[in-house]
Structure 1
Amino acid sequence: MKKILSLVLVSALGGALTLGAYKIFVEPKSDFTLNTTADSTFLPATNVSNLAFETPDLTLAAENTVNAVVHVKNVSISSGQMSLQDLFSGNSSPRTQMGTGSGVIINADGYIITNNHVINNSDELTVTLNNNKAYKAEIVGSDPKTDIALLKIKADEDLPFVTFADSDQAKIGEWVLAVGNPFNLTSTVTAGIISAKARDLSGTSSQSFIQTDAAVNPGNSGGALVNTKGELIGINTAISSQTGSYIGYSFAVPSNIARRVIEDIMEFGNVQNGILGISGGSLNSAFSEKLGVNDTEGIYVDSVVEESGAEKAGVKKGDIIKEIDNVKVSKFADLTGHIGAKRVGDQVTLKVSRDGSLKTINVTLTRNETLTLPLVGRVKNAKQEDLKKFKASNGVKIIELDEKYAEYWKKNGINEGSIITSINDTKINSVDDVQQAMKNKSDYEPLRIELINSKGEKERYNFR
């Protein structure tokens, strides 16, 4: 046993001596020195920051908003489908239908902004505040085009309200809160970011929505989209979904447009829509090639409405609008959204490209005096000389025939310049009358149009 231990110790001692000799005499020297002082800084091998991702504090925005968002209940009475008992008795029992949505208090006196589709066809409106107090509401006015409506309640105290922000200053990627009261419980808050601006869901370049990924579901319509300060930048209006439920795309009317609409309603009783007075389309590679222009960004002016602000300011067919009020224009909804926040008489500054050079043109917005009439085309308020030409006492002038039906009209002596005097037995004096006549027409009622042809003869057309 002693011999074995002695052998192990001798082997270990020999190995230690051999390793020491290698280290001293054989191994190459290194110039590397490890600094172990307190001032040493050690960095990771990668260039990735270790700072924690900071999420914004949204509590202040929520606190400033939840008490100013309300539940809106719409009760309507309709005849409904007749039951077997109604059929035998000869009576038609009224049916009560109920819809719900949200709204936003915008001043302490009880004015509330919501969507037009939330209050449409209502017989009775009830607004419930976040403290569960309920009030009867009256409609001050509404605008189906922008889907904005203004309500008023009489409360016995000053109400909490949300202030407006400049929606033009909202940026893609900015954090937002969607606040609604869809279930008449209390206001509900969801968070997300602005996904896009100037979205047009209609395909007619008549809309300009803010798109967000904050969760919005049916019943949130009319609720608030606010920034991190709790300021109103939009009115939640629509979702994009095949199921009817939220899937990541929701849309809000920008606050600048909503504000202009309700200010018009409060001041004039209706909406004063200002127009630039041009028609055209957004440029892209294919469209630019078709037109034979080099630009691939901007709005190509295809035509200018006569006597409009654009015509008076010198905008011409073929101009390419690059900016409006120093805001870059890349699609028609950019233009629509900016003008939608303006009034008749407001001035905008256009930067246009003409024959390869940039020009600055100041345009005063005018009242919309044109309208697209289904099956016919675009019509405009007629001047006295237009009426005198056809010996008409009233009517609107056709300025552009519907491309699909133009050949039919021309075969029957109806051309640009012809006068429409009556729609569904309603006397027509202006495009406002045309719009009202179309609004009053039911879906099942035929369209009856009375026109004066190129020979000065009155003709009636019925369309089913």
Structure 2
Amino acid sequence: MKSIFSYILTGIIGGIAVLIGGQYFSKTKTQAELPVQYTQKVNESPTVAVGPDFTLAADRALEVVVQIHAKESQKLARQKEEEQFRNNPYLRDLRDFGFFGYNNPFGGIMPKSGSGSGVIISNDGYIVTNNHVVEFADEIEVILRSGKKYSAKKIGNDPNTDLAVLKIEESSLPVLIMGNSDNLKIGEWVLAVGNPFGYLTSTVTAGIVSAKGRDLDIIGSQENDQYGWNNSVTQGSAKSIEEFIQTDAAVNPGNSGGALVDGQGRLIGINSAIASKTGYYSGYSFAIPVNLMNKIVNELISNGKFERGRLGVAVSEIDEENMKTLNLSSKEGVVIETVQDNSSAKYAGLLPQDVIIGINGKDIKNYEDLTRMIGLTKVDETLKVKIIRAGQSKEINVKIRKGL
């Protein structure tokens, strides 16, 4: 707004100067009979501010974003219902009394259905989407921008990052160039491409990157402690892996799984969530970074799942007390409280009172940083863990093992 106001103000001042100058020269000609010569005609066309052109980026993205219709069959819904009753005698008794309308053909659990978006990531038909779009479904239909329909197979999914991979039988599909979400700048223009509400197909909206690395705790946690360590305060379960790109590009239900691209049409994220009290767009949307997506998706294609290992420690964040006790100069890092027997940490030689300050060259400033790094580490990967022990900095190689 400041730059637009400046342009308008400059135009007004320029107009006044021309009027005053004209009057002066008119008087001069009358008094001294001297001709006035203009070396260049003034351009009277109004100044127009030209915004960024996203047409090329939009064209590229629209070709690779698909519509997804996901449905749970009646058979699968019944199987899930029976499993719930088997695991809960109380529910089973209620069912036997007809509480759920089980003997009524219109009673019981209704099959789920929904729609969303997906992004083609290979010429031979691999498609990435959000796990929440397809996790409940055993019947999945994919529709290309051309309108061609395919029956899709679910290849793998990872609830902790809300990612899933589908496959359709095709051999010459278009794909986007992969961007680098680590290089994305705050304030950079981005486009969100998807199919909002299930019927506004091939919709493009624009916005800017508002923030990076958002951890909103919206994906949810798993029941079991997959990672093998807990925050010593909460003793919580395995945490979802979230480092969202926050934008103000309009995203609504049905956009989930669609593409977030930069101004050149490079894929930089998968749209996943919105901040809203109503369920509809109200200012901010969130996308899974493409760098995180690539790591998870490659494993899903190869193995059908992302198998996480266990570090095997309980940790706490640094406070004033352990700063003094451990003679630390900063609150950045996490303190190991206990090390589990037969764990990755135990085999590597990590000890209680070690302070973890880095992994693979990246700073570990708090509990969330550690959860993210371990949560993105697969079984048999080796991490370079930087610690402070007895006031001295050292690096220890830790091979991440499968949990017991």
TM over 0.5: yes
Q: Give the counterpart letter for 2:62 in structure 1.
A: V
Equivalent pair of 2:193/2:202 in contact (CA under 8 Å)? no
- Matched with 1:14 is none
Question: Matched residue of 2:63: which SS?
Answer: helix
Give the whole-Å Cα distance in 2 for the aligned partners of 1:175 and 1:196: 14
Are 1:316 and 2:312 an aligned pair?
A: no
Match of 1:459 in 2: none
Displacement of 1:159 in angstroms is: 0.9
Contact 2:348 2:397 in 1 (8 A): yes
8 A contact 1:304–1:316 mirrored in 2: yes
Match of 2:181 in 1: 167
Q: Paired residue for 1:210?
A: 244
Match of 1:108 in 2: 123
CA deviations over 1:380-437 (Å, ceiling 9, x no partner): x3xxxxxxxxxxxxxxxxxxxxxxxxxxxxxxxxxxxxxxxxxxxxxxxxxxxxxxxx
CA 1:235–1:306 in structure 2 vs 1: closer, same or farther (change >3 Å)? farther
CA distance in structure 2 between the partners assigned to 1:255 and 1:212 by the alignment: 13
2:213 counterpart of 1:197: yes
* Unmatched runs of 5 consecutive residues or more in structure 1: 1-51, 81-85, 370-380, 382-464
Q: Residue 354 of structure 1: CA displacement?
A: 2.5
What whole-Å deviation, never above 9, does each CA across 1:146-203 have from its counterpart, x for those lacking one? 2211111123x51111343443444444443322222342242332204131514159
CA distances 1:32-72 after superposition (whole Å, capped 9, x unpaired): xxxxxxxxxxxxxxxxxxxx999765444333322111111
Q: Any idea what SS the aligned residue of 2:146 has?
A: coil
Match of 2:22 in 1: none
Residue in 1 that maps onto 2:59: 63
Query: Which residue does 1:179 correspond to in 2?
Result: 193
Residue in structure 1 matched with residue 306 of structure 2 by the alignment: 271
Please give the alpha-carbon distance, in whole angstroms, between the structure 1 residues aligned to 2:106 and 2:268: 46
Tell me the equivalent position of 1:127: 142
Q: What does 1:368-387 correspond to in 2, within 5 Å?
A: 369=403, 381=404
TM-score (normalised: structure 1): 0.59
Residues 260/196 of structure 1: CA separation in 2 closer, same or farther (3 Å cut): closer
Residues 272, 362 of structure 1: alpha-carbon distance in 2 compared, 3 angstrom cutoff: same
Contact residue 239 and residue 250 of structure 1 kept, 8 A:
yes
Contact kept? 1:142, 1:265, Cα under 8 Å: yes
Give the distance between the partners of 1:216 and 1:135, measured in 2 at CA. 25
Change (3 A) 1:225 1:144: same
Q: Deviations over 1:310-357 (max 9, x none)?
A: 322222222222222222222333333334444322222222222333
Give SS of 1:274's match: coil
Asked whether the 8 Å contact 1:212–1:251 carries over to 2, the reply is yes
Matches of 2:274 and 2:325 in 1, distance apart? 34
2:316 and 2:269 map into 1 onto residues whose CA distance is 26
The alignment status of 1:74 with 2:90, answered yes or no, reads no
Q: Is the 8 A contact 2:189 2:206 kept in 1?
A: no
Secondary structure, aligned partner of 1:234: strand
| Aligned match of 2:378 | 343
Q: Is the 8 A contact 1:217 1:245 kept in 2?
A: yes
> Deviations along 1:17-39, whole A, 9 cap, x unmatched?
xxxxxxxxxxxxxxxxxxxxxxx
Residue 91 (structure 1) aligned with residue 105 (structure 2): yes
Aligned 1:420-459 pairs, distance under 5 A:
none
Larger RCO of the pair (alpha carbons < 8 Å, separation 6+): 2
Deviation at 1:288, TM superposition (A): 5.7
Shift of 1:232: 2.7
Match of 1:243 among 271, 274, 278: 278
Change (3 A) 1:307 1:60: farther
Equivalent AA in structure 2 for residue 73 of structure 1: H
Whether the aligned pair in 1 keeps the contact of 2:326 and 2:391 (CA below 8 Å) is no
Structure-1 separation of matches of 2:119 and 2:161: 16
Deviation at 1:298, TM superposition (A): 1.8
Higher-Rg structure is: 1
Q: Is the 8 A contact 2:333 2:356 kept in 1?
A: yes
Structure-2 change in CA distance of 1:60 and 1:277 (3 Å): farther
Q: What does the per-residue CA deviation read over 1:280-311, in whole Å, with 9 as the maximum and x for residues that have no partner?
A: 24446698689995531222323333333332
List aligned pairs for 1:294-373, cutoff 5 A.
294-367=329-402, 369=403
Of 113, 125, 146, the residue aligned with 2:161 is: 146
User: Would you say the 8 A contact 1:172–1:197 is kept in 2?
Assistant: no
Q: Percent identity?
A: 38
> 1:226 maps to what in 2?
261
What are the Cα deviations for residues 251-298 of structure 1, in whole angstroms up to 9, with x where unaligned? 333323322322222222332213433332444669868999553122
Give the Cα–Cα distance (whole angstroms) in 1 for the partners of residues 147 and 356 of structure 2: 50
CA contact (8 A) 2:157 2:304 kept: no
Distance in 2 of aligned mates of 1:347 and 1:171? 30
Cα RMSD for the two superposed structures: 3.6
* DSSP 3-state at the match of 1:137: strand
Aligned residues: 315
- Structure with greater strand percent: 1
In structure 2, the CA distance between the partners of 1:346 and 1:219, relative to structure 1 (3 Å rule), is same
Cα distance in 1 for residues equivalent to 2:322 and 2:216 = 19
Q: Report the secondary structure of 2:252's partner residue.
A: coil
Give structure 2 stretches of 5+ with no counterpart.
1-47, 79-99, 222-235
